[in-house]
Chains A and B, each alone.
Chain A
Amino acid sequence: MVKDILVVKDLQVWFPVRQGFIESLVSKEQRYVKAVDGVSFNIKEKEIFCLVGESGCGKTTTGKGILRLVEPTGGSVKYYGKGKEILLKDMISDALAKGKITKAQAEKMTAEGGIDVRALHKSKMKKLRQKMQIIFQDPYESLNPKQSVYDIVAEPLVVNGIGATEAEREKRVVKALEDAGLRPPKDFMWRYPHEVSGGQRQRVGIAGSLVLEPEFLVADEPVSMLDVSIRSEILKLMLDLRDNKGLAFLFITHDLGVAYVFSDRIGIMYLGKIVELGPTEEVVKHPAHPYTKALISVVPTPDPEMRRNQIILKGERPDPSNMPPGCRFHPRCPFVMDICRKEAPATVFVSEGHWVSCHLEKGQAK
């Protein structure tokens, strides 16, 4: 059986809304931006899992919450990658020595194996983050224009104190550039970000993550800013990394078309929740949620015929600090019923590994 590398359960990231003075007199209740509001999914080893949804639905915050680049306010994140082992041994012997846990507890922790990411001390988290990396959307903004490609890619090594000598570091940088498809590396190493093309810049960003030899990557819209004509080059690179290095991905995109061609499983996200989840082909060919259907219909295509059948939802970016009652999607749903305005839908099975949260679907509850 394929093992999980990551299990996210009821993840919650709420940001407190800063209230004005008057407002704070009127209402004592602290309000929150519920960016991520109970998200659960797992990612298997060597799997590409896609989170898809409109901007503002909480995709980036989910990715950052997992890596604790923002602190989750609830739920759990467990990591089972190989990189955890050293960390786990460390921590257990540490805790044992300090008498914080009993021997029995230590044994149980080792047996269960997963690292509770949210419980990690900051210093340990830094260590774990070498194995869990993030690639950002914008290759133009995320690279320092004053640093050479070499310095950009070597920086994570320096920051983490990896590589005893410059020669050792250089070897790893060369390897990372090669793995990111910047070949031969010596042609790129001494250039600056503005001296390479957009696609190459994204590869530099990827090389910067690969240099620490991660096991799990969060790729946050890595192709959204690139020309359509070069996107699949970058997607293929990520497939390669999965096939040849065994990396697992949480891939974030607003474009279901990209998710379709590239991922193993998809989670459709709306206003802080996953509303449909399942194997990619299953979700795309047999979508159960009206939101998923709308997202399928607006996938960009140059085919004028296809464009006529679009379901264009009105409005945008519903406000996560002011959730609608009942089903969160009901104000924009073309099939809204009375019950949708009052009750949140249960999560029901559609088929093997495929589930949905919608009142229209009458399957067995999860």
Chain B
Amino acid sequence: MRSPDPFVPSLFRVDRVWRESADTVTLGLLPIQGEIPAFRSGQFFMLYAFGIGEIPVSVSGLWGQGPLLHTVRAVGPVSQALCRLRPGDTLGVRGPYGSPWPLPQAEGGDLLLIAGGLGLAPLRSALLPALAERERYGRIALLYGARSPADLLFGEERGDWSSRGDLQVEVTVDHASPAWRGSVGVVPARISHTRFAPERAHAFVCGPEVMMRYSAAALLGAGVPPARIFLSLERNMKCAFAVCGRCQFGPTFVCRDGPVFSYDRIARLLSIREL
């Protein structure tokens, strides 16, 4: 149940924990009381590790299909505390917040999902509904880059995706030993090897900002219109509902107007170094 004070989180319990890699886990969360609030792919929740702090984390699953799924990488105090949670532990959750991936807008054309590192988690929440309603889209491709083979997420599920005839999956890593049988190289370089019709394609990109900028440049070079390229931005957040100004990005608030923005809306802002 949602608290009337927007800053007060609801109490959730960890139902399951999946270890994705050495520093990343997926948490399956259930509310102690009431229902999981309705959310859409691309949105995020504020997760509160008691006594430590609160951070924004995107949804990596779907609403109405079991627990609320969040994939968290341990980088600092709060995310480390979240990654240490075990089934039965509790945490605070508030949300959902932010703009979703514009899946309905992408229907009828090709869909490219371009993920870097942990960016696969928010894009998983876009891929699953697109696969569930596969007939609504033209070609679908997932391009996924990570640092090394050991850092690749959702191993088993990726195997299922790769074996589907109706989804092109391109996985590439920055560094590997000769034992790795897959591709080595950066994600933007794989865009020219992807089968899609740029004039009727939408691209959803999520990953470190530099990787997103290079990917957007490669997509533009391939002929995808800027209004059809969507990036999910990360900025530090506090309130998550456009009150505190912490996530201000030029004239926009990432928590309210984003995190998913169309490239034509933010291209100019991305080039301003101070933002």
Does chain A bind chain B?
Answer: no
A residues contacting B by CB (< 8 A) are none
B residues contacting A by CB (< 8 A) are none
